[in-house]
Structure 1
């Protein structure tokens, strides 16, 4: 019978008080997350982008396979094609698939099929 080998988890057991404090800090941080469509023109260091991709790529998955792929697109022509494809898909969603309830929920946000934020280069 084959013996499975696992990478051992470097687990640190924490006290109840420390877990409460850390979980409250994490909750406060995660509650600040928002969907953003209005971006700064400030350039982001490439290392920040690479660190974000590494963090996202380490998210747990079935069988710990992490089957996702991330791509940083810097070519303006490719970004324009991505925007066009996204806007076509969003047009179909907003005009044919979204329920009235969903569209009503989106109305105060002012979102629609237009995705201009996909094209400007900030890498």
Structure 2
């Protein structure tokens, strides 16, 4: 049936698979993603910038509220900038871990991960990527454009980004030092952007270890 539109539309005909292939493809993707782990022990081996760019391209395909795409991925390879980010992050983390800023409940929740204020991996990795959420848009004349569903949109984009890195055999960690305002200054970002997640990106170290975690079963994840 022909439809009338006030804005440009194009045909969309996604690939359809036989049911057996649908299940196979879905299971293979699940098993691939189930092998993904957050890593805190990295190699300093170089990683092609193109891999990071491909991950950002993938993130950029994510759905967003009103298709406003309220994200900016800042890619950092410069060693001096990575050092500055590590030093600033550790100042905040020492306040969290040694300065008593973490509540007892929060400490208890983190205990099995054995995390601490040392963030040496921020200098070890060849790349840092900081995702900034655009709180609002800015027109060429300086006026603001309201953005809708910013947290939801940026969160989905970051999920795509992580999946793309894993698909290329790279590791990362969703690092969210609190507060994160220092990233705005170091990265030279405008006032309409706020730091959302800091991603260290590289190969897992040859002797990397991760906590022995068990993901909750389908019966708990789905109602």
TM-score normalized by the length of structure 2: 0.48
Q: 2:25 aligned with 1:22, yes or no?
A: yes
Q: Take 1:105 and 1:7, find their aligned partners in 2: how far apart are those partners?
A: 48
Mapping of residues 60-99 of structure 1, within 5 Å: 60-94=63-97, 95-96=100-101, 98-99=102-103
Q: Mark the CA change 1:18 to 1:64 in structure 2 (over 3 Å): closer, same or farther.
A: farther
5+ residue gaps, structure 2: 128-223
Deviations 1:16-44 (A, max 9, x none): 21211111111101111111110112211
Per-residue deviation, 1:8:
4.0
SS in 1 for 2:71: coil
Total equivalences in the alignment: 122
Identify unmatched segments of 5+ residues in structure 1: none
**1:38 aligned partner:** 41
Is the Cα contact below 8 Å between 1:58 and 1:66 reproduced in 2?
no
Aligned to 1:101: 105
2: CA distance, partners of 1:6 / 1:115: 47
Relative distance call for 1:102 and 1:8 in structure 2 (3 A) is farther
- SS of the residue 1:70 aligns to: strand
Query: Which structure has the highest strand share of the two?
Result: 2
Q: Work out the CA distance in 1 between the residues paired with 2:89 and 2:10.
A: 39
For the 8 Å contact 2:47–2:126, the answer to whether it is kept is yes
2:118 paired residue number? 114
1:85–1:119 distance in 2 versus 1, CA, 3 Å: same
Shift in alpha-carbon separation, 1:31–1:121, aligned structure 2, 3 A: closer
